[in-house]
């Protein structure tokens, strides 16, 4: 290990327990619940195996009055739930790490759609009421004195269940708009009793939650406080620099550990497109000077130098990570063994967050094995050696081809990877040149670096293969990762891609990738709805072109609500001077006039533009695949045993889909999969009965 990084491996006491190092996997949404306890345990166990000294759950509901359905949330309501969580604790402890649990009451944010209990709140103020997906029609009730005492008791009872499950650190969670946070923030808390008014009164509920948790379990478990400080830091205080300073001072030594963060998901877990590594520091930098207790914070840390600097400068005691550990559970061990070049760095795309919004276990662009540790028995670092002497030809070195080549090579296959372009990386070569997407280069860099270290891999660029050349090479296994092409398809009011706009001066992102310069003004018409349409509009505006961005959706880059990016997409387009028209179809383009029509009313609008760029439908570029499978005799004679398609060539998708597709293909090369995956089921040691 580089001696500079030694400090990251110090043991650090947290109340009555001791963390083996400073790598702390903070609570994060994983989409894993009591419905899939084994998937969850294996996911967390892998982080511990990879060297994280503390591994935490995500939010765990303490009571049915904190019910986040239909979003996936964990709970700790009864003995069956204890058993489900015990699996995670065992998996974490097996590798010497501490297990932490984030006990959670959502207050007004939990719509209790399943339990049908009136949501709890300090003063009846609803949460995030304009945020699609979190909207509900039920306004929260105002908690009375008994309700307050009930929640404090439920927290203590849940803490006792947590201890029985085997957790070492038990959280009080006062962040992100949830119930204890609502007591802290004056806009939510308009009470006139002992729990409202002054800051000293507003911290009372949090302090009593900490005290009741400590009384319940504090002899052998540490009690952590997780708190959002962004809003509080923006509020002036009479005697302190801000309300954040006042709150931290008042609660200073009550918890055994401070876990500090931002207030909203887009700023707390921001995409690399909009926030740099370590972006929380400006909000949380004062906490360590205000308490004697250890402090953990996050900031999409992947560089050991940045981590070391945070410790040495006295900002943090623990390097908190959620995404860093999803992308590479073995990050700590790689630093420890001097292999930091091998870290599979998070790219900050937030596909992992989108999995939670989708209601499924976490998926990661960089790490195809995340969430598949148990159900597919995929280990991110271990690969069984193949007895096969088959050689593999991978055509196309985009994300899918790179991943397939790497995973096959790790199993010992002789691999030839060939791309027609002068640079490996496929679509990423162009896309990572666009505003904010440079960090995504890590997808290519990580894989190419690894492939170049291996002596069973031959890499060819500027090498376009046709059918004859594939036959001539005669590798036993052939996989086509030749990507997809953007089409000029339009879109109908039935929300179906229709026809094509084959007119002069109509372009797709592929034209930009090949270096075509557009003449302004430009209409960017986007029904792909992910990042590319918005980011291209931003890029064209930066080139001083006048840009109109139109979409049938209600927002620009509508799907980016799933990745915490949408507010910033709109901010950037506004700053760049792009005019945004939503709920709009592009019907025709004649001369310089593009005819748009409202998708609901058909009301027309004309815009004068010299270029139209359509970011809509992609279709697989699978000519070579089709030619090969249409010639079974020739391929048999050439000795080819299998021909497959992966990535966009099979089904166009996001980079996460291409990586997964390449990984899955390569894992299945050595063994024929007899089943898709193992199916997890809830733990039911005790019969169904009343809820607590």
Residue 322 CA to residue 210 CA, distance in Å, equals 24
Q: Which is nearer to ligand SF4, 53 or 348 (CB)?
A: 348
Q: Which is nearer to ligand SF4, 208 or 403 (CB)?
A: 403
The encoded tokens of residue 611 equal 């270029």
Give the total of residues touching ligand SF4 (CB under 6 A).
13
Residue 160 CA to residue 87 CA, distance in Å, equals 17
Give the total of residues touching ligand ADP (CB under 6 A).
24
Q: Choose the contact partner of 419 out of ligand ADP, ligand SF4, none; CB within 5 to 8 A by kind.
A: ligand ADP
Eight-state DSSP code of residue 642: E
Strands, E assignment, 396-467: 414-418, 457-460
Residue 334 CA to residue 348 CA, distance in Å, equals 20
Select from 169, 347, 523, 650 the one that contacts ligand SF4 (CB under 6 A).
347
By CB under 6 A, residue 658 contacts ligand SF4: no
The encoded tokens of residue 334 equal 């790689």
Select from 346, 404, 561, 659 the one that contacts ligand SF4 (CB under 6 A).
346
Nearest to 481 by CA among 657, 636, 615, 352: 657
Active-site position among 171, 178, 530, 589: 178
CB of residue 563 vs ligand ADP: minimum separation in angstroms? Answer: 18
| Residues within window 74-113 making contact with ligand ADP, judged by CB under 6 A | none
| Residues within window 572-611 making contact with ligand ADP, judged by CB under 6 A | none
Select from 251, 284, 315, 352 the one that contacts ligand SF4 (CB under 6 A).
352
Select from 184, 185, 481, 669 the one that contacts ligand ADP (CB under 6 A).
481
By CB under 6 A, residue 483 contacts ligand ADP: yes
Residue 41 CA to residue 84 CA, distance in Å, equals 9
Residue 45 CA to residue 563 CA, distance in Å, equals 26
By CB under 6 A, residue 366 contacts ligand SF4: yes
First-to-final CA distance of the chain: 50
CB of residue 270 vs ligand ADP: minimum separation in angstroms? Answer: 25
The region of 238-246, 360-368, 516-524, 591-599 touching ligand SF4 under the rule CB under 6 A is 360-368
CB of residue 366 vs ligand SF4: minimum separation in angstroms? Answer: 4
Q: What CA dihedral angle connects 112, 118, 123 and 124, to 10 degrees? A: 80
Q: Is 178 tagged catalytic?
A: yes
For 37, 155, 333, the CA distances from 31, given in Å and listed in that order, are 11, 22, 26
By CB under 6 A, residue 487 contacts ligand ADP: no
The encoded tokens of residue 648 equal 């966009």
| Residues within window 396-435 making contact with ligand SF4, judged by CB under 6 A | none
CB of residue 664 vs ligand ADP: minimum separation in angstroms? Answer: 13
Bond into 165 cis (ω within 30): no
By CB under 6 A, residue 284 contacts ligand SF4: no
Bin 133: left if φ > 0, else alpha if -120 < ψ < 50, else beta.
Answer: left
Nearest to 607 by CA among 585, 631, 627, 626: 585
Select from 624, 628, 640, 666 the one that contacts ligand ADP (CB under 6 A).
624
| Residues within window 394-423 making contact with ligand ADP, judged by CB under 6 A | 395-401, 418-421
CB of residue 662 vs ligand SF4: minimum separation in angstroms? Answer: 15
**DSSP β-ladder status, 584-590 and 593-598:** antiparallel
Q: Choose the contact partner of 395 out of ligand SF4, ligand ADP, none; CB within 5 to 8 A by kind.
A: ligand ADP
By CB under 6 A, residue 648 contacts ligand ADP: yes
For 34, 288, 295, 491, the CA distances from 260, given in Å and listed in that order, are 27, 10, 7, 45
Select from 60, 415, 647, 665 the one that contacts ligand ADP (CB under 6 A).
647
φ, ψ for residue 549 (rounded to 5)? -110, 120
The encoded tokens of residue 512 equal 């930009």
Name the site residues for ligand SF4 (rule: CB under 6 A): 323, 326-327, 346-352, 364-366
Q: Which positions lie near ligand ADP, rule CB under 6 A?
A: 395-401, 418-421, 426-427, 464-465, 481-483, 621, 624, 647-649, 658
Annotated catalytic residues are 178
């Amino acid at each position: 290990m580089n001696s500079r990084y030694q400090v990251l491996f110090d043991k650090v006491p947290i109340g009555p327990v001791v963390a083996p190092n400073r790598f702390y996997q903070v609570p994060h949404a994983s989409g894993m619940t009591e419905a899939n306890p084994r998937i969850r345990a294996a996911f967390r166990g892998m982080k511990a195996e990879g060297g994280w000294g503390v591994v935490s759950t995500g939010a765990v509901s303490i009571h049915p009055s904190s019910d986040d359905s239909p979003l996936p949330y964990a709970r700790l309501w009864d003995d069956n739930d204890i058993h489900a969580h015990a699996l995670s604790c065992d998996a974490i402890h097996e590798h010497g790490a501490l297990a932490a649990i984030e006990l959670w009451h959502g207050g007004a944010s939990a719509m209790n759609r399943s339990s049908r209990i009136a949501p709890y709140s300090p003063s009846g103020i609803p949460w995030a009421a304009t945020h699609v997906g979190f909207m509900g029609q039920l306004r929260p009730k105002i908690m009375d004195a008994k309700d307050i005492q009930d929640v404090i008791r439920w927290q203590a009872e849940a803490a006792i269940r947590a201890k029985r499950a085997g957790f070492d650190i038990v959280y009080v969670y006062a962040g992100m708009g949830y119930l204890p946070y609502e007591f802290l923030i004056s806009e939510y808390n308009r009470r006139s009793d002992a729990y409202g008014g002054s800051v000293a009164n507003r911290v009372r509920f949090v302090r009593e939650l900490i005290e009741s948790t400590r009384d319940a379990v504090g002899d052998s478990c540490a009690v952590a406080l997780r708190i959002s400080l962004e809003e509080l830091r923006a509020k002036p205080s009479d005697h302190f620099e801000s309300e954040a300073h006042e709150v931290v001072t008042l609660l200073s030594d009550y918890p055994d550990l401070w876990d500090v963060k931002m207030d909203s998901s887009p700023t707390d877990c921001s995409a690399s497109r909009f926030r740099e590594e370590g972006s929380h520091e400006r909000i949380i930098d004062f906490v360590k000077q205000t308490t004697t207790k250890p402090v953990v914070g996050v900031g999409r840390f992947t560089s050991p130098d940045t981590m070391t600097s945070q410790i040495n400068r006295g900002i943090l005691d623990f390097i908190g990570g959620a995404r860093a550990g999803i992308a590479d559970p073995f990050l700590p061990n790689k630093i420890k063994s001097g292999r930091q070049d091998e870290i599979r760095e998070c790219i900050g795309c937030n596909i992992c967050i989108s999995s939670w919004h989708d209601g499924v276990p976490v998926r990661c662009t960089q790490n195809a094995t995340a969430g598949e540790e148990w159900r597919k028995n995929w280990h991110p670092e271990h690969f069984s050696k193949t007895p096969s002497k088959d050689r593999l030809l991978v055509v196309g070195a985009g994300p899918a081809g790179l991943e397939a080549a790497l995973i096959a090579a790790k199993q010992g296959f002789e691999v030839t990877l060939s791309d027609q372009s002068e640079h490996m990386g496929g679509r990423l070569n162009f896309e990572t040149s666009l505003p904010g997407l440079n960090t995504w280069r890590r997808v290519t860099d990580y894989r190419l670096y690894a492939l170049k270290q291996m002596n069973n891999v031959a890499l060819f660029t500027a090498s376009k293969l046709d059918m004859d050349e594939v036959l001539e090479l005669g590798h036993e296994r052939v996989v086509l990762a030749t990507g997809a092409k953007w089409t000029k398809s339009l879109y109908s009011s039935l929300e179906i891609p229709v026809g094509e706009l084959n007119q002069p001066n109509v372009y797709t992102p592929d034209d930009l990738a090949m270096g075509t310069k557009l003449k302004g003004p430009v209409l960017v018409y986007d029904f792909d709805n992910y990042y590319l349409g918005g980011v291209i509009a931003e890029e064209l505006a930066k080139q001083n072109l006048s840009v109109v961005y139109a979409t049938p959706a209600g927002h620009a880059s509508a799907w980016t609500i799933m990745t915490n990016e949408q507010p910033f997409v709109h901010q950037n387009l506004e700053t760049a001077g792009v005019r945004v028209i939503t709920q709009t179809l592009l019907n025709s383009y004649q001369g310089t006039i593009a005819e748009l029509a409202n998708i609901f009313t058909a009301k027309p609008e004309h815009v004068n533009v010299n270029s139209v760029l359509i970011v809509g439908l992609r279709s697989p570029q699978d000519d070579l695949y089709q030619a090969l499978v249409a010639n079974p005799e020739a391929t048999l004679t050439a000795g080819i045993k299998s021909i497959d398609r992966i990535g966009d060539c099979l089904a166009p998708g996001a980079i996460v889909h291409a990586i997964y597709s390449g990984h899955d293909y390569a894992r299945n090369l050595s063994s024929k999969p007899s089943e898709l995956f193992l199916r997890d089921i809830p733990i039911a040691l005790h019969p169904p009965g009343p809820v607590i």
